[in-house]
Structure 1
Amino acid sequence: MNKKHLWGILIVLAISAFVLYTDLKTTPIHEIQKAAQGMNWFAFVLVFALMLLSYICEAAILATLAKRKDEPKRSKWSFFRIPIIQALFNAITPMSTGGQPSQLAAMVQMGIEGGRATSLLLMKFIIYQVVVLFAYVLTIIFGFHMVATKFSALAIFIVIGFIIHISSILFLLAIMFAYNWTKNTTNFFMNLLAKFIKKERVEKWRSATMEKIETFYSESQKLKKEKKKLLVSTFLTVLQLLIFYSIPYVVLMALNVNASWLAVTQMNIMIIMFMAIIPIPGASGGAEYSFQTLFATFVSSHGALVLGMFLWRFATYFFGMILGIFGWIFKPKKISSRKNN
């Protein structure tokens, strides 16, 4: 971790402290105390257990993809620390840009060669994006009307987040299934840009984009050949996302609020779409605002809503940061990969 990352942590803490101060200033303390006294403590613990289980699923995906007959067995900790380190760097970098590089660094630290680590992360990324595509599309089809009818201003930002997500996912799928068309289309847009921007700059963009297209296509073809790994990893990804998306519902259970799991989960997915367009580490401020805005539908007491928001935010954000710091400090034993004969 460098000074830039420390600044990211400080920015996150400062914004979160301001949000906490603002909420406590406008919420009578006795309302929060009343909500806390009636807390369902089993559900409270379950919130954090689910978050841990989500990280375990992600670690299992990487272990499944990395498994080779000719390699020594690596520790469970070496795989578990990868998603928690990602959680830390996702939280402290704008638009979660530090997550992927931090995973790569963690895999190199455990002895996986850099090129292969990149390949494994790309495979995991492909599976994740395909599963997320279905989750987002289904949510917009069946759940968007809940937001559009009550929170039209927030709905616009959710649509923007949805378009950004879906555009990137469709581009990746185009590489997998329409490789030549994607390359030709990319060249067409680069030639168009060259008419308005310096050619040298456009050529750098073209070169970098084409390199990424080649790499992504190569890894997607490898993944198609390993059907067992593909099926197991897809199942684990679906399970991971179901667990993660269900956490707000369990938060409401902790507050003794009766709600539909489906409705709450759809709201949560839309919050995640909204958070994607906030260019602040961890989407601080925007995440809290969107949670309170959307979940006011289910929680009548403002004190319970504020308490629920901070429980959700701590479990899904700060809890991962804390685990990630330990993951970064306690490095596993480095085991070098054996070369195939």
Structure 2
Amino acid sequence: MNKKHLWGILIVLLISGGVLFVDLKETPVAQLRAAAQNINFWGLIAVFGLMLLSYVFEASILAVLAKRKNEPKRSSWSFLRIPIIQALFNAITPMSTGGQPSQLAAMVQMGIEGGRATSLLLMKFIIYQIVVFIAYVVTIISGFHMVAAKFGGLAFFIAIGFLIHVSSIVLLLAALFAYQWTKNAANWMMNLLAKVVNPERVAVWRQNTMAKIDTFYRESQELKKEKKKLLLSALFTVLQLACFYSIPYMVLVALNVPADWVSVTQMNIMIIMFMAIIPIPGASGGAEYSFQTLFSTFISSNGTLILGMFLWRFVTYFFGMILGIFGWIFKPRKIPSPPNN
């Protein structure tokens, strides 16, 4: 972890702390005290439990994908530290750009060769994106009208976030099922860029893009052969996302606020779409604003709303950051893969 990452942590803390300070300043202490006294202890434990289960299921995906007859047995901690390290670097880098490289570094630290680790993460990425895409489409079809009717401005940004995700999924599926067309399209775009950007720089971009498309296609073909691993990994991905998406509902349960799981989960998924377009580490500021805006539908007391926002933000971001720091510090025993793996 370098100075840039420490600055990322500081930015997240400062912005989130500033939002919380403004909210606390405008909220009567009596309301906060009443909301805190009304917390359901077991519901609060369940909130943290869901986040931990989300990490466990994500670690299980990598454990399933990495398992081979000649693959050495590695500790549960070596896999569990990968998603919590990802949570740390997702939170402290703009647009969550540090998540993938940090996972790769963690896998190399546990003894998996870099090329093999990249392939495993690519397989995991393919499965995750497809499951997320299905969740987003279902949510937009079934729940977007609730936001559009009450929060027009926020609905616009959620729609942009959805379109960005759809675009990335379309490119992903094109690389999977229309390999040659994808390469031709990428070459066409590079030819256009070469007219306005330094051709030497575009040549480097072209080479890197073609290499990534080739690797992506090759790994996707390998994944198709591993049907049992594919199905089990997809199941774990569904469980991982179900736990993560259910956290706001459980926060409301912990605060003794009546709500139904479907509506709350739809709102949460749309918050995540909105956060994807905020170019600030951890989507700080926008995350808190969107939570308060959307969840004011379910929570009438301002004190309860602020407390709920704080619990949600802490569990989904700061809790992962804290665990990720420990994951980065306490490295597992390095067990090299066999030479032919």
Task: Bin the TM-score by the shorter chain.
Answer: over 0.9
Q: How does 1:41-60 map to 2 (within 5 A)?
A: 41-60=41-60
Deviates more, 1:180-189 or 1:41-50: 180-189
Structure 1 unmatched runs, 5+: none
- Between 201-210 and 248-257, the greater mean CA deviation after superposition: 201-210
- TM-aligned CA deviation for residue 199 of structure 1: 2.0
Aligned to 1:207: 207
Structure 2 length as normaliser, TM-score?
A: 0.98
Q: TM-score, normalised by structure 1?
A: 0.98
For residues 39 and 10 of structure 1, the distance between their equivalents in structure 2, rounded to whole angstroms, comes to 30
| 2:246 alignment partner, SS class | helix
Q: Which letter does structure 1 place at the counterpart of 2:58?
A: E
1:102 aligns with 2:96: no
Aligned counterparts of 1:188 and 1:3: Cα–Cα separation in 2 = 39
Q: Residue deviations 1:272-329, cap 9 Å, x none? A: 0000011110000100000000000000001000000000000000000000011001
Q: 2:233 matched to which residue of 1?
A: 233
Whole-Å separation in 2 of the counterparts to 1:80 and 1:90: 16
Deviation at 1:7, TM superposition (A): 0.7
Match of 1:180 in 2: 180
1:186-225 CA distance string (max 9 Å, x none): 1112222223333222222211111111111111011001
Q: Separation in 1 of the partners of 2:64 and 2:71? A: 13
Counterpart-to-counterpart distance in 2, 1:54 and 1:218: 29
- Separation in structure 2 between the aligned mates of residue 238 and residue 71 of structure 1, nearest angstrom: 26
Q: Quick check: 1:7 aligned with 2:31?
A: no
Question: Quick one: which amino acid aligns to residue 90 of structure 1?
Answer: N
Q: Which residue of 1 aligns with 2:258?
A: 258
What is the rounded CA distance, in whole Å, between the counterparts of 1:244 and 1:9 in structure 2?
22
In structure 2, the gaps of 5 or more residues are none
Q: Which amino acid letter does the alignment assign opposite residue 299 of structure 1? A: I
How far 1:340 sits from its partner (Å)? 3.8
2:238 is equivalent to residue 243 of structure 1:
no
DSSP 3-state at the match of 2:266:
helix
In the alignment, is residue 88 of structure 1 matched against residue 68 of structure 2? Answer: no
CA RMSD between the two structures: 0.9
Tell me which residue corresponds to 1:269. Answer: 269
Look up the SS of the partner of 1:258 in the other structure.
coil
Rounded to whole Å, the distance in 2 between the matches of 1:320 and 1:242 is 17
What count of residue pairs does the alignment treat as equivalent? 341
C-alpha distance in 1 between matches for 2:39 and 2:19: 22
Q: Distance in 2 between matches of 1:142 and 1:67?
A: 38
Counterparts of 1:156-167 in structure 2, within 5 Å, are 156-167=156-167
Give 4+ residue runs of structure 1 displaced > 3 Å after superposition: none
Offset of residue 40 of structure 1: 0.9
Shift of residue 265 of structure 1? 0.4
Q: What amino acid does structure 2 have at the position aligned with 1:263?
A: S
Counterpart of 1:117 in structure 2 is 117
List per-residue Cα deviations over 1:239-269 (Å, max 9, x = no partner).
1101100000000101111111111101000
CA shift, 1:123, in A, is 0.3
**CA distance in 2: counterparts of 1:336 and 1:203, whole angstroms:** 36
